[in-house]
Structure 1
């Protein structure tokens, strides 16, 4: 270990945090307890870095020097990491040590703590999904408690995926807001986020592909062209946990039809799983919640430009630059967390729309803002979207070599400038943006864009570029829908093909109702799904005739042809999955089975009071409020009910069945609560019984609705501040 007298980076030699209160002067206990944690952290950093060429050493790291820095109110910086049982955090240990060393070299005092991080992929289709959204609120609380309890000034965040980036940001925002109380006398909170590198997608092993081809041949020989086509289509995706899930459904269908045995299916699934993840770890290459969160924290201005799109762990020199950018924010209140959030919120919504990012963020963005004290809801997102249309300029694809790993490669090659290029493209298209909003780079967006000539280098052909300078289409992002049996719900328009969007507009769907996802999964990955649907007793001859008339189909069209052509379309409704009912799990598995079932995928929608994965494609309606558990209309639906979908009007209405049979489209005046109260009570009792599967400490039973981000009620009540400036942003 290199040891010498104390040496501090000259740029920050005189930096002390300006505030009235310093608990490390006023309370001797912290001054006695914490120096040993700092010293141990720095010793480990020296062990890692001493052998690196150019490492200048740490100087003296005695407890006496640490005490002096604490008493002098040098910047106390916490490094927030994740847990190594999550792929995005495999290299956090080394990253933490590099950041700690630079904080010390800059005259600060480094601390470090980690958070448990639930992997949404690992938690899919099991009870773990009922803990996923709760983990965001728990992360916010844990970060806030530790940050406030140990009186840190700023955070250097090793940002991963799923719920932790927005959970951490929420906790820091809550601390920043609480420190605004005049009685506190403390400085605000500053933060820099460094997203984990992108995980390279896997490749199906050649021997496994041969086995899948054999199954395809067997399926065709057995007359199941659809299964063969579904397997073929899924083989075009980069190998990810999401495509593995689709293979699971298809192989279950193959087993059901005796094309292969269960043990052979298990072997293939094992081979796929073993080839999925690169051993470097990182955030999966699809544009799910992980990379959508990367985009969000970057669009909000919290990420140093050099940190946006890494494909490997950052070296010491880069980490030092990230830490330096954080130090340059200290004592500048305009760069405090709540200020950056308020200034960039509308910008982030427009970037979210333009990139087709995860609909999960429709919960997380209001949650972050409400933790910051701002009265923000789903309808602020809607209002900003209505102010000016935002085109789709993000040609992300898992089948055409335009995933996030490729986006990162194009960034590293200098073909674009990450989030700044998205801002530049939208600015060129005259989408309103607040270019005076600050970023942790110490520059406004306007200043960052001034240094960019073009959004995307002309050396990169547009058909290969993920970021497009010419819009792909006018519709983008996530729409908020209204209806006569619910207050609001969301539809990820960016996950729908244009032809599908147009086909589903002004269309009538027949409800197929499920009380939770498991019976829906069983039906959707069954090879007999079409037969099951065709045999629904609610499909009376009168209803089929009315559907043929409405959809201009031949009067003698048989029911199987109606299903295949979309004359008879279904709304697969999964209720009982809302926040208070069951933790609001993702309905990824059923949505994936629907998407990769060639017949119904083209003609049907899925609707739930749960969530969807960020990688979900197709007509998937989620976040329905009120949820079934609280007496929402979605919990009153039954098989055979008729939903009139008007996407251009952003509405889904429950129709009067008798009027439809007469050839009229008449929405009911209200949900049929009176006639179905007994049924709803029975369903509620089953939901309450099902809740016993979730540990009591993780129930979301005292939270706001999805319209307000599913935040704890105390957070919800405190969020009273307007986030827009009086003149508007």
Structure 2
């Protein structure tokens, strides 16, 4: 193993000794209750299988059939999730054919940041992850199930389902992807038209045409944002079938992989000899593998929060220093938009996940000695699925890239590091993704232009007030303030300023999209302005310095001057009302900071861990 990867793994294990032991004890207590429905009273069980057919009822009451929970995030407004419409019936049929039973345990909400970006609904986005986790746990709480199938694709949905699955860590769980839409308008062309719209060179009609050509059918959006990062990370962690993440919807291979996922979960329940619950798959090595997969591909910055929360749900404490050290050890192996011009289908054609995993295993960057849903050893995931003579089978994947502009040669990565920097200084801590920048680093020192929301930024841009070298500060966007909305709509105008020759960057306690691009952005600043962070004391004209080489984020104002300044205040009353935002006040008030996962679910967990051993 790479020494840095091993060191990070070891320190995660060491710092998580108490919490992981408590977690394993919890899921072992749950397992000892036996087949879950066996603990139910007759009345309870009768309610649980009342709608089942006669044969399934007999099997369930005699404890001879596994009962698999189906949790789905289907809706037909999200292109990525529309294919899930008929999955429950397909999964039930495949499971019935191998002598088990499946029940649809519950649906979870699934919102699209692409629809809500720059609108009030975006302020529910990050909080929806915890809502999804709670909804899925309610579905599983009936105690009828021996395993679970999780159907989710996009930004907050997969992390939410992971949190729920790990809460029921004694259950074997398989994640079932639906695949990306075929390639449409190239992402680079879409970005060009967005920027021309920001400059006033094209109108809304041309913009809508371009967007519609890009997002054009059922399936996941093809750029490498949070949705596709989710899929890759879950596969590298051994929770998908090998090679199943990026097979297009509606194809024969997609259908066969869906059926195979259904069959596979029945093979690893506690009713057989190959019991493998998700709580035993997601260990420290699997978590590090997920981080490495994310970093090697320049994946979504949202996972600097999501994977922290997922790790905590499995009893592990992961922090941004772990990300930073792993980033330095991990080469950037792919160029997928916004880190290049290719889309996720091009990545698959160039060799896909099987090649990526092989390259990383060969370099000692991934732990091979891990459990997966397919057995022991990650090397199983260097294979890829094929249909041969009408049968689904797995063959050895590519051993070298078919397109070295998309997947690099193992000895010639695109960058020697993965391009994720952790910044620290008197402004607090922040994340910056540099893999999509024109240079592999950012070193900038410029006057601040301060905004309390993204909408006032728009007005200043349109008035020409930002046509200068500057660092744009957008604050009061953090978890406690607004639930941490993404600010991706700022990217096109900031790109316009770059093209005019101005040096610009963004500093914010909010998020950028998983598709964060070529504008330097120090994001997730913590502590946030709303809870007293120094970002709330920046004045217009203050000099701010960002340096990803030294890892510094500095406000060049003396400590004495900062002590004199009062914290900026803002009335967020109107931002907490309408579009259902008032219902989330309680959740917003308990969200942890960005580096702790911006999560509302673990308020009592540390205390419980300390007493539950």
Normalising by structure 2, what TM-score?
A: 0.84
Post-superposition shift, 1:245?
A: 4.8
Distance 1:453 1:75, change over 3 A: closer
Give the counterpart of 1:335 among 257, 260, 276: 276
In 1, the alpha carbon distance for the partners of 2:225 and 2:86 equals 26
Give the counterpart of 1:268 among 198, 206, 227: 206
In 2, the alpha carbon distance for the partners of 1:88 and 1:372 equals 27
Summarize the alignment of residues 534-573 of structure 1 with structure 2, pairs less than 5 Å apart.
563=468, 569-573=469-473
Matched position secondary structure for 2:595: helix
1:72 corresponds in structure 2 to: 63
In 2, the alpha carbon distance for the partners of 1:707 and 1:579 equals 11
Post-superposition shift, 1:333?
A: 7.8
1:190 corresponds in structure 2 to: 172
Matched position secondary structure for 1:121: helix
Distance 1:34 1:454, change over 3 A: closer
Post-superposition shift, 1:400?
A: 6.9
- Kept in 2, the 8 Å contact 1:189–1:337? The answer is yes
- Kept in 2, the 8 Å contact 1:629–1:687? The answer is no
Q: Does 1:496 align with 2:437?
A: yes
- For residues 167-216 of structure 1, what are the alpha-carbon distances to aligned partners after superposition, in whole Å with 9 as ceiling and x for unaligned? 0010111122xxxxxxxxxxx1111112221123433xxxxxxxxxxxxx
Summarize the alignment of residues 645-664 of structure 1 with structure 2, pairs less than 5 Å apart.
645-656=546-557
Which structure has the larger Rg over C-alpha atoms? Answer: 1
Post-superposition shift, 1:348?
A: 1.2
Task: Count matched residues.
Answer: 559
Distance 1:533 1:267, change over 3 A: closer
In 1, the alpha carbon distance for the partners of 2:299 and 2:339 equals 17
In 1, the alpha carbon distance for the partners of 2:208 and 2:401 equals 41
1:393 corresponds in structure 2 to: 333
- Kept in 2, the 8 Å contact 1:159–1:165? The answer is yes
In 1, the alpha carbon distance for the partners of 2:583 and 2:487 equals 23
Post-superposition shift, 1:496?
A: 1.6
- Kept in 2, the 8 Å contact 1:362–1:709? The answer is yes
Distance 1:484 1:600, change over 3 A: farther
Q: Does 1:473 align with 2:430?
A: no
Distance 1:25 1:445, change over 3 A: closer
In 2, the alpha carbon distance for the partners of 1:719 and 1:191 equals 27
Distance 1:334 1:630, change over 3 A: farther
Q: Does 1:592 align with 2:492?
A: yes
- For residues 479-516 of structure 1, what are the alpha-carbon distances to aligned partners after superposition, in whole Å with 9 as ceiling and x for unaligned? 11101121x110012122226x2xx42x3111010001
Post-superposition shift, 1:423?
A: 2.3
Summarize the alignment of residues 352-371 of structure 1 with structure 2, pairs less than 5 Å apart.
352-371=294-313
In 2, the alpha carbon distance for the partners of 1:595 and 1:424 equals 36
- Kept in 1, the 8 Å contact 2:172–2:268? The answer is yes
Summarize the alignment of residues 507-526 of structure 1 with structure 2, pairs less than 5 Å apart.
507-524=444-461, 526=462
- Kept in 2, the 8 Å contact 1:66–1:109? The answer is no
2:125 corresponds in structure 1 to: 132
- Kept in 1, the 8 Å contact 2:35–2:145? The answer is no
- Kept in 2, the 8 Å contact 1:35–1:67? The answer is no
- For residues 444-469 of structure 1, what are the alpha-carbon distances to aligned partners after superposition, in whole Å with 9 as ceiling and x for unaligned? 11455599999745582423x43543
Post-superposition shift, 1:357?
A: 0.1
Post-superposition shift, 1:125?
A: 0.5
Post-superposition shift, 1:571?
A: 0.7
2:148 corresponds in structure 1 to: 155
Summarize the alignment of residues 289-300 of structure 1 with structure 2, pairs less than 5 Å apart.
289-300=226-237
Summarize the alignment of residues 277-292 of structure 1 with structure 2, pairs less than 5 Å apart.
277-279=215-217, 281-292=218-229
2:188 corresponds in structure 1 to: 237
- Kept in 2, the 8 Å contact 1:352–1:477? The answer is no
- Kept in 2, the 8 Å contact 1:372–1:719? The answer is no
Distance 1:196 1:597, change over 3 A: farther
1:181 corresponds in structure 2 to: none
Distance 1:26 1:192, change over 3 A: closer
Post-superposition shift, 1:306?
A: 4.0
Matched position secondary structure for 1:149: coil
Give the counterpart of 1:698 among 584, 592, 595: 584
2:6 corresponds in structure 1 to: none
Distance 1:18 1:124, change over 3 A: same
Task: Show structure 2 runs of 5+ residues with no match.
Answer: 1-30, 385-393
In 1, the alpha carbon distance for the partners of 2:576 and 2:565 equals 23
Q: Does 1:249 align with 2:198?
A: yes
Task: Show structure 1 runs of 5+ residues with no match.
Answer: 1-16, 40-61, 177-187, 204-234, 255-259, 535-562, 564-568, 657-667, 723-729
Distance 1:341 1:400, change over 3 A: closer
- Kept in 2, the 8 Å contact 1:88–1:160? The answer is yes
Distance 1:605 1:439, change over 3 A: same
Matched position secondary structure for 1:571: strand
Distance 1:247 1:338, change over 3 A: farther
Normalising by structure 1, what TM-score?
A: 0.71
2:54 corresponds in structure 1 to: 63
Post-superposition shift, 1:477?
A: 3.7
Matched position secondary structure for 2:525: strand
Distance 1:448 1:22, change over 3 A: closer
- For residues 685-724 of structure 1, what are the alpha-carbon distances to aligned partners after superposition, in whole Å with 9 as ceiling and x for unaligned? 42355333562222311121111101115356348879xx
In 1, the alpha carbon distance for the partners of 2:313 and 2:401 equals 43
1:199 corresponds in structure 2 to: 181
- Kept in 2, the 8 Å contact 1:200–1:277? The answer is no
- For residues 363-384 of structure 1, what are the alpha-carbon distances to aligned partners after superposition, in whole Å with 9 as ceiling and x for unaligned? 1001111122323333333354
Distance 1:168 1:333, change over 3 A: farther
- Kept in 1, the 8 Å contact 2:36–2:143? The answer is no
- For residues 124-149 of structure 1, what are the alpha-carbon distances to aligned partners after superposition, in whole Å with 9 as ceiling and x for unaligned? 01011100001000001111111123
- Kept in 2, the 8 Å contact 1:192–1:303? The answer is yes
- Kept in 2, the 8 Å contact 1:508–1:644? The answer is yes
